[in-house]
Amino acid sequence: MVEHRSESTARSQAFSIQRRPGENHPGNIAGRPELVAHQPVRIRVVIRAFIGVQIAPEVRARIAEATAQLARQIPGIRWVPEENFHFTLKFLGDIEQSQIEPICEALAEAFRPFRRFTINAKCLGVFPDLKRARVLWVGLEGNNLLALAKRVEIVLEPFGYPRDNRVFRPHLTVGRWRALSGSHKGLEDKLDRWSSFEFGQSVVDEIGLIESVLKSTGAVYRRLRALRLDDD
Catalytic residue positions, numbered:
86, 171
Q: How far is the C-alpha of 47 from the C-alpha of 161, rounded, in Å?
A: 16
Q: How far is the C-alpha of 60 from the C-alpha of 82, rounded, in Å?
A: 6
Contact predicate 207/53, CB 8 Å = yes
Go through 4-40 and write b for each residue having 16 or more CB atoms within 10 A of its CB, e for each that does not: eeeeeeeeeeeeeeeeeeeeeeeeeeeeeeeeeeeee
Report angle CA 156, 222, 141 to the nearest 5 degrees: 60
Residue 11 gets the label, from left (phi > 0), alpha (psi -120 to 50) or beta, of alpha
Say how many Å lie between the first and final Cα of the chain, rounded. 37
Across the strands, what pairs with 222?
211
For residue 61, give every residue at least 6 positions away whose Cβ sits within 8 Å of its Cβ, in sequence order, or none.
82
Contact predicate 92/1, CB 8 Å = no
For residue 149, give every residue at least 6 positions away whose Cβ sits within 8 Å of its Cβ, in sequence order, or none.
89, 90, 168, 170
Within 55-178, residue ranges assigned H as helices are 57-71, 100-110, 145-156
